């Protein structure tokens, strides 16, 4: 039996308007090399100037994960050659990062949590992007100099499942803080995964392998599962030292396997030394006070939802897992929907219909509309089944009014006693033999009568009223 040891390095692009050391815009998918200047092109004599907003966002993150935010941190040069790094070095933080010794709690489905340590979070500049076309490689330096916060976990994760739960929690935190859009498809939130194994009961750390630049929760889970299996097989076959060595691997998403990329560098290989063109980072007292003003975080929000709204712990965990979902839910409750029904209609009915690139942010049905559907069900204007029909109609007719849709579709429930009694009398009259059987003790026939009345009303009768009035009629 083996134990899996996983540590993660997450690169989060901070959502500043300009790059970390120059005034070039940070924008995605613009024409290649339009957002560049002598600084991000690495031209001789160009001097970096630190973006204060990037520092503030890093400090906010430190407070959100209960970390130490240092009163002094230092930038270093990390030396390596690659075409998308024109200076020949990356400005990063090595010896004294801005954030150190934090933690977050990951959530499990049974309501338990586990503490995962965060070793450090440091500021650095992003590299450019290589584009490979046939036998040519092109370089786009628009991304070069984009501010990154690299967040390094302790090796506390013990499975692919735990790793994904950690990443999802981290993703939620940076979105709640609004320090990054954390768009994984665009590379704003990407991850390097370090994986090793050891026999259970052994406390030694064995050779770790790094899987580089992952930007999908699903692929991260698959890559870890494959790499763990590869290392276990090598150990059991007696070839561990030959096949598992310190290297960087890539995950082939088509074949579902990791493959060797290059040998893994040690810190000495990068020849770190203090960045001579930048002073130490010493935030002001005002910056420290400002960075403490963080919004309500997922764990705090979940606890409040359970206490204030009386919803289940599991439901509160789901709702708070994404800031957009929490905002949507709170807007529904604000609009008068009960918390319990708001959870169901948001997480089951609405999310179940958001497919093909639709998200809560571009949903054709907004929180106010969904809340109105819930309220119309709660005040018995329509049935739950009719509510689903209204929701489908709103998806097909974006911006439609809920009450107008109910009228147009003819879904308003009949709650008038006299109208329902007329239907009941008609059903009982045409099923007199079954009425006798019911009165003779065959009480299971009650459901039959309810079904017949609902059928006669074409589903428009209020079921609660039907049950109530039918009981009175059958007992008289």
With residue 415 as reference, give the H or E element that holds it: none
Question: Which of 290, 325, 346 corresponds to the end of one domain?
Answer: 290
Measured in degrees and rounded to the nearest 5, phi and psi for residue 259 equal -140, 155
| Whole-Å CA distances, 186 to 11, 13, 27, 96, 224 | 12, 10, 11, 29, 22
Question: Which of 242, 267, 290 corresponds to the end of one domain?
Answer: 290
pLDDT per residue rounded down to tens, the chain (476 residues): 899 999 999 999 999 999 999 999 998 888 999 999 999 899 999 999 999 999 999 999 999 999 999 999 999 999 988 888 999 999 999 999 999 999 999 999 888 999 999 999 999 999 999 888 888 989 999 999 999 999 999 999 999 999 999 999 999 999 999 999 999 989 899 999 999 999 999 989 999 999 998 889 999 999 999 999 999 999 999 998 889 889 999 999 999 999 988 776 666 778 999 999 999 999 999 999 999 999 999 999 999 999 999 999 999 999 999 999 999 999 999 999 999 999 999 999 999 999 888 899 999 999 999 999 999 999 888 888 889 999 999 999 999 999 999 989 988 876 666 777 777 878 777 787 777 777 777 778 778 877 787 777 767 777 777 787 778 777 77
Same domain? For 237 and 326 the reply is: no
Same domain? For 162 and 234 the reply is: yes
Question: Among 55, 52, 66, 67, which residue's Cα sits nearest to residue 99?
Answer: 67
Same domain? For 169 and 259 the reply is: yes
Give me the CATH number covering residue 449. 1.10.10.410
Name the percent of the chain in helix, strand, coil, to the closest 5. 40, 20, 40
Same domain? For 357 and 440 the reply is: no
Same domain? For 191 and 84 the reply is: yes
Q: Are strands 189-199 and 99-107 parallel, antiparallel or unpaired?
A: unpaired
Question: Which of 409, 431, 446 corresponds to the end of one domain?
Answer: 409
Strand partners, 124: 148
**pTM of the predicted model, to two decimals?**
0.86
Number of structural domains the chain divides into: 3
Domain range spanning residue 327? 298-409
Same domain? For 398 and 421 the reply is: no
């Amino acid at each position: 039996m083996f134990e899996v040891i996983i540590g993660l390095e997450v690169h989060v692009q901070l959502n500043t308007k300009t790059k970390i050391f120059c005034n070039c815009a940070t924008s995605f998918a613009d024409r290649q090399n339009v957002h560049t200047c002598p600084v991000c092109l690495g031209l001789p004599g160009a001097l970096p100037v630190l973006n204060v907003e990037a520092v503030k966002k890093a400090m906010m993150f430190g407070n959100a994960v209960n970390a130490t935010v240092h009163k002094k941190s230092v930038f270093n040069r990390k030396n390596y050659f690659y075409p998308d790094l024109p200076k020949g070095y990356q400005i990063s933080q090595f010896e004294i990062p801005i954030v150190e010794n934090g933690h977050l709690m990951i959530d499990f489905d049974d309501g338990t949590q586990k503490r995962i340590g965060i070793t450090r979070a440091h500021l650095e500049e992003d590299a450019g992007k290589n584009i490979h076309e046939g036998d040519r490689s092109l370089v786009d330096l628009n991304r070069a100099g984009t501010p990154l916060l690299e967040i390094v976990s302790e090796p506390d994760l013990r499975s692919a499942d735990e790793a994904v739960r950690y990443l999802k929690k981290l993703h939620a935190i940076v979105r709640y803080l609004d320090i990054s859009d954390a768009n994984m498809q665009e590379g704003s939130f990407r991850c390097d995964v370090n994986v090793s194994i050891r026999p259970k009961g052994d406390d030694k750390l064995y050779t770790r392998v790094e899987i580089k630049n992952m930007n999908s929760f699903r692929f991260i889970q698959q890559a870890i599962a494959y790499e763990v299996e590869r290392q276990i097989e090598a150990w059991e076959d007696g070839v561990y030292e030959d096949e598992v060595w310190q290297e960087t691997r890539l995950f082939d998403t088509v074949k579902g396997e990791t493959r060797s990329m290059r040998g893994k560098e040690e810190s000495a290989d990068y020849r770190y030394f203090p960045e001579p063109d930048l002073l130490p980072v010493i935030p002001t007292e005002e910056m420290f006070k400002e960075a403490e003003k963080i919004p309500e975080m997922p764990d705090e929000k979940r606890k409040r939802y359970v206490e204030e709204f009386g919803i289940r712990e599991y439901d509160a965990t789901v709702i708070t897992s994404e800031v957009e979902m929490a905002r949507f839910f709170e807007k529904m409750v604000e609009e008068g929907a009960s918390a319990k029904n708001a959870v169901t209609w948001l997480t089951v009915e609405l999310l179940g219909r958001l497919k093909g690139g639709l998200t809560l942010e571009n949903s054709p049905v907004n929180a106010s509309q969904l809340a109105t559907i819930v309220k119309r069900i709660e005040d018995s204007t329509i049935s739950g089944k009719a509510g689903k029909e209204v929701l489908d109609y709103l998806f097909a007719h974006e911006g439609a009014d809920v009450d107008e849709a109910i009228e147009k579709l003819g879904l308003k429930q009949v709650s008038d006693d006299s109208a329902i009694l007329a239907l009941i009398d008609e059903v009982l009259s045409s099923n007199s033999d079954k009425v006798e059987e019911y009165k003779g003790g065959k009480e299971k026939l009650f459901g039959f009568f309810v079904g017949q009345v609902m059928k006669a009303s074409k589903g428009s009768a209020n079921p609660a009223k039907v049950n109530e009035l039918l009981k009175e009629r059958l007992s008289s």
